[in-house]
Structure formats: C-alpha cells, structure tokens
Structure 1
C-alpha cells in the first residue's frame, strides 16, 4: 500500500479508501490510485482485511449430494447470488449423509473461516448430528421442515404436487398414479403425501405408488410395470428424470403419450421441453431459492439475530404435450405453458 501511495502521489489513507470502495474520493484521484495499483500488481490482503473487520465475506455451503438436480441447481443459484453480494462460496460436499460427516463438515468449514452457512440437505441429519456450529455463525437450511429450529428456504413441494394432480384430474382422468422418489427423501415424501391428499380430497381412488431413486433408469423400470396396468391413464412422476425413463418404457410397450397415458414431471429441467413428447411438469424456481438462502444468511449476519422460520418459494405448472384428456392425441403435438 505504501508503494502504491508513493507512485500515485497520495497518502496511504487515500489508497485504503480507494481499495475499500469509499465514496468520498475525487474521481481523478481514484483513477490515479487504480492505475498505480495496476502497474504494481497490487492486491488487497483479504486475510488482513478479514481480521480487521471481523468478517471473511465467505459463505460455507454443506450439501449431501452433487448427483441430484435439486442440489446442483440450488448450489448454482447460491453461488451466483453470493457473488452478486460480493461474497465467495466455500463448498464442502458430504462423502456420506451420516452424523459424523455432518459434524466434520461444520468443523472443517469453521476452520476455513466463513461468516455463515447454507445447508443443502435434509434437516434430520442436522438435528441428529449435534453439530458444533461455530460461535456467531449463521445457518440457513434448504429444507422447509427445518423451519421450527432454523431459518429455512424451500420450494413449495406440496403445492407443486397438488397442482400436478389437479391438472390431470381436470383433464378428465379418473385417478393419478404416482412414481415417487426415494423413501428417505423429505422432498419425495412431501410430494407423495400431497399426491395422496389431493386424490383423497377429490374422492378418487389412491393407487399404490411405485418408487424410484430419481434416475431415468428407475423411471424406466417403473414404467414397464405401469404399462401393464390397463386402468393407468395418468402418472405424476416425482422428478423429470424418472419421467424420462417412464416415457421410454411406455413407448416400448406401445402405450401412447398422451393418447393412452398422460405424464407430469417435477423440476422443469432444461431438457424437459425436448422430451418426446415435450413434458408437462412443475417448475421449481431454483434461482429464487438460492437468492433467499444467501439473503437469509446475510440478513442474520447484519442484524445479529437467529430467528427460525420457513420461507416457501411457489412452483408453477408448465403445460406441454405429454398431458391430454383420456383418449386424447395419439402423439404429442400441442405445446404451451402457463
């Protein structure tokens, strides 16, 4: 900093003000200092700044999986939102979703000097791990079930599932079969419960659910079984990848979509509009979830509060060509959205 001050012909205090983005510096002087910084290759010492200010401008992210659409897209949104706020992200994926791994992740991130944590995993792991949260660190969890103990942000899983079922019933289908996600997934549980409740509220028969593991392969296996159900005219799949496998199985068994079977997915992955037929699905606003997770951490850092409570981000039904009234088009030809 002293070298920059000498080259620019200003005081070290002026260099500090420019480096920190202080508004009270004449523009010509600011440019003079910036030119000197560039010529000398000057970079502010972020570690020294952190010690002086008591903040590291870094958010730690702990997540249980990098293999699911929800986790990856939420992480992407958190990183983008943090960057907009001038914060870096330190990522620590868990090798396995165990209590010891969760405890170790918080310990390691605490040693790496972060201001707060975003936790992208199901809250039961956090609750049972007796996590040693570093003093003063703020935690926001991407799971609405966490709202009673932590600040939480999540997609409205139940609302999206209800919209999927009601859409199919409104088209005239007598009931809706469900291709559920893994039994240990809270998101899958909430979608399955909402599916069941929506059918019960409408006075419709609740078929036995089939269970997959979020992959297209598991959707394909379930689809082979559903293709043998003569009364199956509508299916709500708990994610788009399983819906993709389901579409393949139905096609191989000669069941037209949506002529014989209508299919709705969940997520609205970028490829959903390119499925054959284009997939009707429930869109999650991952960008908004990520933004609210980061904002939740920063608001709590600035206010010093740690209030619990859940924020739900609405979903949206996107109607494409994979759904139609029973006995509708033999091949998906229409495409739209709302």
Structure 2
C-alpha cells in the first residue's frame, strides 16, 4: 500500500506492481490482458507481486483499453432442470478461474422471459459474448434472430449451422446404455423418453432405436414423459405400461427414480423382473434402492469447455466439440430372467 496526498492509504496501482516485480507497467498490463508473448517467469513474478500487495485490476480501465468487459452472458433455458442448472454452475466456476464475470438470464414460456427479452437484458450489461444453454429446439430457433450479431456459443447436442456448439455426446451415452442392456440378454427394451421439444430427448431416443435396429430388434413406440419422477412413478405403477419389456431405458434419472417406486408398489423386483437404466448420474443415483445404473454427464467439464471455447472464439475460429459420457453400471440392471 502507498499513501496519497491526504495521508490516507491508497489502493495499489499498476505502477506499484511494476516496481515490485521489476518490470515496466506495460508488461504488467500485458499480463493482465492475457498477452501470449510473455515469458512464464515474468508472468509468475508479476502475479506474485499482485498477490503480495493485493492489487485488484480496474475492470473499467481494462475494458476501455481492450474494448472488452470480460463479462460473459449466459442465457439459460429451463434452469430448474438438473442438466441446465449444473452446466450454468460449471460455467460460473470456470469464469471465476479465468478472471471473467457471468451475467445469467433465464428463458421460460412467460412473455417477459422469452429469448428476445433475455438477450436484450444481457446486451444492456455489455457482455463480450453469449453462451446459450439451449435444451429446446424452440429456444434455438428464437436465438438465431435475437443474437445474430453477438459472438455466441450453444450448449446443445445437435450442431447448428454457423454457430459454435459444445455438448456431452448424448447419442454415444444413450447408445452405451442400450448396448449395456443388450449385453445382458434383453431383447424387449422400452424407452421412457423426454419431451419432444428437447434436443437431448430426441437424440437419446434416436440412439435407442438405432441400437435396437442394429441388433435386428423391433422398437416399440417410446413412452414420452416430462422429465419428472412423478411421470416415471405413474408409468411404473400402471399395469400393462411396460408390455413384455424386460428392461427400460429412462431418458433421465428422475423418471427412472419414479419408475423404481412405481414398480416396487406393483411388486415387481428390479433388476430380477425388470432392469432399469437412467441418464445423468444425479448425485443421489447411487443411493437409490437398488442403486441406479446410468450414464454420467460431467457438467463441470461441460461448463469449463463452454467458457474456454467461447473466450477463445473471440480471437480465432474454434471448432465445435463434444465430451464423452461415462456408462455407470450399478445394481438396477441385470441379466434377463430365463423364460
């Protein structure tokens, strides 16, 4: 700390950092702005000096110098659902680590919470770029109009023309779930699908039908749900809902949880009578009775990839990418019972 003309302790400046680190103030500025042509030893010395005197960069001055606010706007469709909400948390954590701030806006069906209103709200905050967690086709369609001139990244399982996208590979995850059931001898596998307007739901359903077709097996029409445990419960407790199926691939863990409850009420044993596998790997999935086989999505990694890809895209073209999911086998799936 230094003292100003009034004798009060002044906030450390970039010049104080430069003196302590033994470099010019221009070098400190380059370190602050992430300039690539800085030796690592110099960068480390400057960062150590900033930490020692508790220097905090002036974000307004830096924005004027770089014409960037280091603020990312995140438009979140359906944040109450586990996937979108978890992805947002991953983005926020990665942004803090990268020295960025996040402004988030929610998209819902209410007129004042639509895509246009959300993008306008984020524009007013001077965001450098926009990350859209867009699980629904309708949101993606609206976004094309609302954010056409703003650097944008979509978190979605289906690539969009001319837009940078990142995602967990939903098709690969669903295929692994179905292949797991097939490897256990199941030949009649019911799919409890998600809402048809959700990209992930359609991709998972397509993988289910493709894997059955590849195995030479027919696919009965999927049962379309709403992602909730209550829906899965109603399916599980309704006589005849499963037909002759010996296994169920639920499009998310919440519906799988309800399904387990409903099957238990009917006196059906999992996995002895029916095998059940979900998707997401909710934090409590391993504590269900029985512990749920599922497909794990690494939302922390997805959020980090979204943030780093979007920041990089401000300076150079960046390719769309996907994260591999992980099959997690627990006690809710087992071999098909002998006829």
1:176 aligns with 2:195: no
Matches within 5 A, 1:59-98: 59-96=72-109
1:322 aligns with 2:332: yes
For residue 267 of structure 1, give the secondary structure of its aligned residue in structure 2: coil
Q: CA deviation at 1:257?
A: 0.2
2:227 corresponds to which of 203, 207, 214: 214
TM-score (norm 2): 0.83
Matches within 5 A, 1:182-221: 182-221=195-234
Cα deviation, 1:141-162, whole Å, max 9, x if unaligned, reads 0013234220000111111111
Q: CA deviation at 1:220?
A: 0.6
Could you list the runs of 5+ residues in structure 2 that have no partner in the other structure?
21-27, 33-41
Is the 2:302–2:323 contact (alpha carbons within 8 Å) kept by the matching residues of 1? yes
Cα deviation, 1:190-244, whole Å, max 9, x if unaligned, reads 1111101111110112122111111100111121236654522100000000000
Aligned to 2:139: 125
Could you list the runs of 5+ residues in structure 1 that have no partner in the other structure?
38-42, 329-338
For residue 146 of structure 1, give the secondary structure of its aligned residue in structure 2: coil
With 16-25 and 181-190 compared, the bigger mean Cα shift is at 16-25
Is the 1:238–1:266 contact (alpha carbons within 8 Å) kept by the matching residues of 2? yes
Cα deviation, 1:42-82, whole Å, max 9, x if unaligned, reads x6542233123211111110011111111011111111111
In 2, the alpha carbon distance for the partners of 1:26 and 1:83 equals 21
Aligned to 1:254: 267
In 1, the alpha carbon distance for the partners of 2:215 and 2:154 equals 34
Distance 1:313 1:180, change over 3 A: same
Distance 1:13 1:294, change over 3 A: closer
